[in-house]
Structure 1
Amino acid sequence: MRNDEISRIVKSDNTILAFGEKLCTKRGHDEEQHNYIRQKLREVGRLLKDMRSCSGNVEKSLENFMYPDAFKFITQSCKNVAGFDGNTNTYATPSLALKIGTTLQKCLKILISKGIETNNRDLQTRAEELSKLFEINWTDDVSSNALRTRHETKQNSQKGLLP
């Protein structure tokens, strides 16, 4: 990773590092996948950077944002990072919004696992509850507009093409 603010955020957050370890265990043996791993870590690092700036607390870790009552805050940060336009309900980068949702689900599984391993019922419970909120609300709040934007962009780019 290049040495910038995002890489410093990634290197200083335990949950993101645990996510990176999981990715390296799964894909690290293949050198072609190193760029993918780097991209995923930077993606969640950018999200954490936005959440920190919106909350005004630049020291909070990703784990500290993983509360069920912070779900709206998390979705808003995802929209900010992916370039959501509230007037047109479209994303500048719709695939990023979709990827962030998947990445956050994986981070929640890491936190659930950590809660079970350390016998931290509070961490386990709040991560499970937030995961349920993701299952119930993420589609309506983020994914549907991202998929629609991606579909419209694809349709518009193909209008002038002939078979």
Structure 2
Amino acid sequence: MRNDEISRKVKSDNTILAFGEKLCTKRGHDEKQHNYIRQKLREVGRLLKDMRSCPGNVEKSLENFMYPDAFKFITQSCKNVAGFDGNTNTYATPSLALKIGTTLQKCLKILISKGIETNNQDLQTRADELSKLFEINWTDDVSSNALRTLPEAKQNSQKELLSLANDVKVMSEYLRH
């Protein structure tokens, strides 16, 4: 990972590092998967950066945000990172919103496991309750708009490719004559 603000946040957060360990254990043996692992860590690092941008949250770890009463805050940070436009209910990067939801669910499982292993009932309970909130509300609050935006974004990128193909055709005809 390149040394920047996001990578420093990733390297300083125990939950993100535990998530990275899980990814490396599962996929690290395949060098082709290293870029995937890096991307997953950076996406959760960008989320943590956004969550820390609010006053009073500057030094908090991802684990410190994992409370059921922080669900709305977490969804808002996800929307911020994925470029959500409240006026049109669309995302600039809809796939990122979907990926962050999946990644956070995995991080919550890591925290539940940590709570069980360390006999920390509070951690286990709050991570489990937040996980249930994700199951119940994430689709309505984040995923539905992201899934709706995906085909629109794909169509727009195809239109750009068609425009480029037409430009190449015109240029080719010009060069022939």
The bucket for the TM-score relative to the shorter chain is over 0.9
Alpha-carbon distance, 1:29 to partner: 0.2
Distance change in 2, residues 1:63/1:161 (3 Å): closer
Equivalents in 2 of 1:55, 1:39: separation in Å? Answer: 27
Alpha-carbon distance, 1:28 to partner: 0.2
Alpha-carbon distance, 1:57 to partner: 2.0
Equivalents in 2 of 1:157, 1:17: separation in Å? Answer: 34
Alpha-carbon distance, 1:58 to partner: 1.1
* Secondary structure in 2 matching 1:161: helix
Deviation per CA, 1:112-133: give whole Å up to 9, x if none.
0000000000000000000000
Larger Rg: 2
Distance change in 2, residues 1:24/1:136 (3 Å): same
Distance change in 2, residues 1:90/1:121 (3 Å): same
Of 79-88 and 148-157, deviating more is: 148-157
Alpha-carbon distance, 1:21 to partner: 0.2
RMSD (CA atoms):
1.6
Deviation per CA, 1:43-81: give whole Å up to 9, x if none.
000000000002442110000000000000000000000
Equivalents in 2 of 1:37, 1:161: separation in Å? Answer: 29
Distance change in 2, residues 1:132/1:160 (3 Å): same
Alignment map for 1:7-46 (pairs within 5 Å): 7-46=7-46
Equivalents in 2 of 1:61, 1:160: separation in Å? Answer: 40
Equivalents in 2 of 1:29, 1:38: separation in Å? Answer: 14
Equivalents in 2 of 1:157, 1:33: separation in Å? Answer: 26
Alpha-carbon distance, 1:157 to partner: 4.9
Distance change in 2, residues 1:69/1:146 (3 Å): same
Task: Count residues with an aligned counterpart.
Answer: 162
Distance change in 2, residues 1:122/1:154 (3 Å): same
Q: Which blocks of at least 5 consecutive residues in structure 2 are unaligned?
A: 163-177
Of 106-115 and 54-63, deviating more is: 54-63
Q: What percent of counterpart residues are identical?
A: 94
TM-score normalised by length of structure 2: 0.87
* Secondary structure in 2 matching 1:55: coil
Distance change in 2, residues 1:87/1:109 (3 Å): same
Distance change in 2, residues 1:139/1:4 (3 Å): same
Equivalents in 1 of 2:161, 2:14: separation in Å? Answer: 48
Of 108-117 and 48-57, deviating more is: 48-57
Alpha-carbon distance, 1:160 to partner: 9.4
Distance change in 2, residues 1:58/1:155 (3 Å): same
Equivalents in 1 of 2:117, 2:55: separation in Å? Answer: 29
Equivalents in 2 of 1:86, 1:59: separation in Å? Answer: 28
Alpha-carbon distance, 1:92 to partner: 0.2
